[in-house]
Amino acid sequence: MSEPNGPRPTLEAVAALAGVSRATVSRVVNGGRGVREPVQERVRQAVHELGYVPNSAARTLVTRRTGAVAVVIAEPETRVFTDPFFGRQLRGISRELAAADTQLLLMFVEHRADYDRIGRYLSAGHVDGALMFSLHRDDPLPAMADRAGLPTVYGGRPGWAGADRAPRPLYVDTDNRDGARQAVRHLLERGRRRIAVITGPLDQTSALDRLDGYREALGVPAADPRLIADGGFTASGGERAMARLLDSAPDLDGVFACSDLMANGALRTLRARGRRVPDDVAVVGYDDLEPAAWADPPLTTVRQDVEEMGRLMARLLLRLLEGRRSDGTPGTGPDGARRPHARQLAPVITEARLVVREST
Amino acid sequence: MSEPNGPRPTLEAVAALAGVSRATVSRVVNGGRGVREPVQERVRQAVHELGYVPNSAARTLVTRRTGAVAVVIAEPETRVFTDPFFGRQLRGISRELAAADTQLLLMFVEHRADYDRIGRYLSAGHVDGALMFSLHRDDPLPAMADRAGLPTVYGGRPGWAGADRAPRPLYVDTDNRDGARQAVRHLLERGRRRIAVITGPLDQTSALDRLDGYREALGVPAADPRLIADGGFTASGGERAMARLLDSAPDLDGVFACSDLMANGALRTLRARGRRVPDDVAVVGYDDLEPAAWADPPLTTVRQDVEEMGRLMARLLLRLLEGRRSDGTPGTGPDGARRPHARQLAPVITEARLVVREST
């Protein structure tokens, strides 16, 4: 509504209606400690009657809790809206946060300038914690979260400088190296001998780990560089990478594309160049999201449970938040039970599993 | 990071380093009014050196500005991530907000319980304003924004009870009625005489207005109910609606689907039932987003500039925010210029335009 229809009800109005002091209302609104139950009830009645909503700029200063969590995806929204990976991970996050009555605030990163603005918002007490994913090697977000003292859980193994120093960042990932090994071993079992790889951007650990798995499965110390091309985790990137690979290694008979979207792009190029799949070239993808099933032919791929990874990230963050008292330090709950300390929480690595379809 | 590496720099530390009082630091951080330039410079140096970020829970209490705007889409994130309409509108919003250094916070609505939580966050001083779209008739969001006194701009003509009372809500829409008339007139010009319509959910004004346009173009007071089916603005809904229409009116020779996604669903059903497009049945969509061009055959559709609509929404909200002084009332800027009053701002209706392709 462009203009409010009247002033917002104040703490004073609630105090007057309930016949108590401002301080009492404030105590009730912030948990009711030290206020007798009948008085609490009277205040809650007045709050309800007036439709009073505590100003949480003030409330945040007292409780240091906002009930909200930022989800920062270090990609522009155009990428986020065209890659089903993000929608699926968000679904898991969103369901888990909703179950804990915690508000999800989604933010994208398009330009360098966006980082400063996001850093300011995150540092400013508007959220209790953050989930961050799709970070690149030199990403300033972890340092920002660190400076702001903001409890944060990452999607994907941290690859930034200092990430291996204590306290180690909390994260959820899939076993990318093992997934890649399964993909390449499967191609070897299918009798393929010239196996190329289409990688994601190598400033992301998921892309690096999958490339390492490819190398390990081939069992050669240094893979033939003519068999490696970067497809940037997009369909059009996969299309172009496949074209470069066919030019540099026309005798290739297998391709491991490190995402289903890139595999789909590769299939388009193979079709355009008259190569039959899987007869001439066998193709394996990664993710097992919608594009794998839609592909023509349907894709053999490495399944990671993306929605579950989102759920696990949210769960880890919620446990981290439980473990902090209102003053930001770990401690005991109202029932005297010891809350989990950050140091007791650990990164979670989920399994990757090969799904065989018609493309191999 | 799970645990901060050290305490966050305080206002006191900045004051000590700059050799000024806390109050002076606070004044500089909040705009510098009444502080001499050399002192301001010294404080800014200290802020920079220590990496100090003002606690904006405190800062919000002073300036009442957070630098952030909520974008609330009254749909679950699964719908948002599968309908290109939302991604495109967000792109326009995101670019415009970024240009004004304003942080976008995206929120989805999946269950009734989400409304309460979103209402609490929006009322709590964490955002300066809101953009809301895809609202349904009984949506509680406008009343929440209203109660919270939150400057808000809507996507789509408001259809909730009381929306026509002053102060009228600000919104951006396309001329849905005219777009629908163009679609149906085009089918009539192509010689079609039994024209069906696949509508969106009729608790949304965009769906209602397009249905009205269909009726007006046919020039009959009450259209044949066998020619009307609700497709819920999704591809699978369009698929099912087309099947129902073919059952109830097997002689139909034209279909106006009120979104490209629904038109794509309708094309699938027509193909499955052996009807040739456009020879047997001509099909027109609405939106002119990616699914229109991908369709087989490519879709004749009504183009609305969705990205521009997003930009216009953001621009309208930014002007509304400019027009409010820090105490929340309209007034004059620092240069004495009169800022636009909310009453001087008006809804924006953009043009719809028919794009003819092979499906008609």
| Structure confidence at residue A27 (pLDDT) | 77
What is the distance between the alpha carbons of residues B336 and B304, in angstroms, rounded to a whole number?
39
Same-domain check for residues A139 and A188: no
B209 part of a folded domain: yes
For the domain that residue B33 is a member of, what is the CATH number? 1.10.260.40
More confident of the two residues A33 and A71: A71
> What total number of domains does chain B contain?
3
Q: Quick check: A296 pLDDT over 50?
A: yes
User: In the predicted model, what is the mean pLDDT of residues B345-355?
Assistant: 95
Same-domain check for residues B138 and B236: no
Which residues of B are less than 8 Å from A345 in CB distance? Answer: 2
Write out pLDDT tens, residues B170-212. Answer: 999 999 999 999 999 999 999 999 999 999 999 999 999 999 9
Mean per-residue pLDDT of chain B: 87
More confident of the two residues A10 and A158: A158
Three-state DSSP at A76 gives coil
| Structure confidence at residue B5 (pLDDT) | 41
A158 part of a folded domain: yes
Same-domain check for residues B80 and B226: no
| Structure confidence at residue B32 (pLDDT) | 65
Confidence of residue A58 (pLDDT cuts 50, 70, 90): low
Quickly list H helices, chain A.
11-18, 22-29, 37-50, 56-63, 77-80, 84-99, 112-123, 141-147, 176-189, 205-218, 235-248, 260-272, 290-294, 306-322
| Structure confidence at residue A206 (pLDDT) | 95
| Structure confidence at residue A3 (pLDDT) | 33
A89 Cβ under 8 Å from any chain B Cβ? no
Contact between B103 and A118 using a beta-carbon 8 Å cutoff: yes
Burial zone of A333 (CB within 10 Å; 0-12 exposed, 13-18 middle, 19+ buried): exposed
Write out pLDDT tens, residues A179-192. Answer: 999 999 999 999 99
More confident of the two residues B219 and A9: B219
More confident of the two residues A113 and B181: B181
Contact at 8 Å (CB) between A288 and A258? no
Write out pLDDT tens, residues A200-210. Answer: 999 999 999 99
| Structure confidence at residue B317 (pLDDT) | 96
Which residues numbered 119-158 in A keep a CB inside 8 Å of some CB on B? 119-121, 123-126, 142, 145-153
| Structure confidence at residue B4 (pLDDT) | 38
Count Cβ–Cβ pairs < 8 Å, chain A vs chain B.
Answer: 206
Same-domain check for residues B57 and B84: no
DSSP B340: P
Confidence of residue A342 (pLDDT cuts 50, 70, 90): low
Q: Quick check: A336 pLDDT over 50?
A: no
Contact at 8 Å (CB) between B308 and B358? no
A114 Cβ under 8 Å from any chain B Cβ? yes
Percentage of chain A exceeding pLDDT 90: 59
Q: Quick check: B150 pLDDT over 60?
A: yes
The domain containing residue A137 runs over which residues? 68-174+307-350
A111 Cβ under 8 Å from any chain B Cβ? yes
| Structure confidence at residue A340 (pLDDT) | 57
A224 CB neighbour count, 10 Å cutoff: 14
Confidence of residue B48 (pLDDT cuts 50, 70, 90): confident
Mean per-residue pLDDT of chain A: 87
Same-domain check for residues B321 and B341: yes
Same-domain check for residues A236 and A316: no
* Nearest C-alpha in A relative to B327: A7
Provide CB contacts within 8 A for B237, sequence distance 6+.
B230, B231, B262, B265
User: In the predicted model, what is the mean pLDDT of residues B282-304?
Assistant: 93
Write out pLDDT tens, residues B255-280. Answer: 999 999 999 999 999 999 999 999 99
Extract the tokens encoding B352. 């719809």
A15 Cβ under 8 Å from any chain B Cβ? no
Contact between B106 and A110 using a beta-carbon 8 Å cutoff: no
Which residues numbered 264-293 in B keep a CB inside 8 Å of some CB on A? none
For the domain that residue B267 is a member of, what is the CATH number? 3.40.50.2300
What is the distance between the alpha carbons of residues B306 and B11, in angstroms, rounded to a whole number?
45
B137 part of a folded domain: yes
Interface predicted TM-score (ipTM) over 0.90 = no
Three-state DSSP at A315 gives helix
Which residues numbered 148-207 in B keep a CB inside 8 Å of some CB on A? 148-153, 167-170
What is the distance between the alpha carbons of residues B70 and A105, in angstroms, rounded to a whole number?
8
Same-domain check for residues A181 and A251: yes
Same-domain check for residues B182 and B287: yes
Confidence of residue A335 (pLDDT cuts 50, 70, 90): very low
Q: Kind of pairing, strands A300-303 and A353-355?
A: antiparallel
Contact between A81 and B77 using a beta-carbon 8 Å cutoff: no
A355 part of a folded domain: no
Which residues of A are less than 8 Å from B68 in CB distance? Answer: 121, 126
A67 Cβ under 8 Å from any chain B Cβ? yes
Same-domain check for residues A190 and A297: yes
Same-domain check for residues B52 and B118: no
Same-domain check for residues B260 and B325: no
Q: Quick check: A330 pLDDT over 80?
A: no
A359 part of a folded domain: no
Q: Quick check: A92 pLDDT over 60?
A: yes
Can you say how many angstroms the Cα of residue B55 is from the centroid of all Cα atoms in its chain? 30
Write out pLDDT tens, residues A210-231. Answer: 999 999 999 877 789 999 999 9
Write out pLDDT tens, residues B70-87. Answer: 999 998 888 888 888 999
Confidence of residue A90 (pLDDT cuts 50, 70, 90): very high
B5 part of a folded domain: no
B1 part of a folded domain: no
Same-domain check for residues A198 and A265: yes
Cα–Cα separations (whole angstroms), residue A228 to A202, A216, A242, B280 = 12, 14, 10, 50
B323 part of a folded domain: yes
Percentage of chain B exceeding pLDDT 70: 87
| Structure confidence at residue B283 (pLDDT) | 98
| Structure confidence at residue A320 (pLDDT) | 92
Q: Provide the terminal-to-terminal Cα distance of chain A, rounded to the nearest Å.
A: 57
What is the distance between the alpha carbons of residues A182 and A303, in angstroms, rounded to a whole number?
11
Confidence of residue B126 (pLDDT cuts 50, 70, 90): very high
Q: What pairs with residue A228 in β-bridges?
A: A197
B297 CB neighbour count, 10 Å cutoff: 14
User: In the predicted model, what is the mean pLDDT of residues A50-66?
Assistant: 61
* Nearest C-alpha in A relative to B329: A3
